[in-house]
Structure 1
Amino acid sequence: MKIKNAYKTRRLSVLPKIFKFAMRPYHEWQNLAPAGALMATLAVLVLSLGSRFLIKDRSPR
């Protein structure tokens, strides 16, 4: 049985959704959009660095 990875088969459109969120007429939503973009960026950074450290620890020296 082959498991299909959703992230490899379709595009993740987080940043365009945050941009649309920021363009709404509500001031509270406009204030939350940069925080959402920052959280998405930090999540990618943490996952990237975490995977590098895991791979580095498991690789033969």
Structure 2
Amino acid sequence: MQQQQLITAPNLDAPDDFYEALIEAHQGLSTEESHAFNARLVLVLANHIGSLAVLREAFDAARAS
């Protein structure tokens, strides 16, 4: 199995479209529902990534920003 590394360089095909879709996904949600949505989204994306090493890199990168 190949070792994965976190991609930190811009990598979204359409970042503005992603941001718009993310905002739309939050439309109509209360603050509590929005936080719960974000938590579920993080878990779904973490499952997609699948590598604890990459996720730890992401934690470090998020804390540093």
Q: If the length of structure 1 is used for normalisation, what is the TM-score?
A: 0.35
More helix by share: 1
Relative contact order, higher structure (CA 8 A, sep 6+) = 2
Q: If the length of structure 2 is used for normalisation, what is the TM-score?
A: 0.33
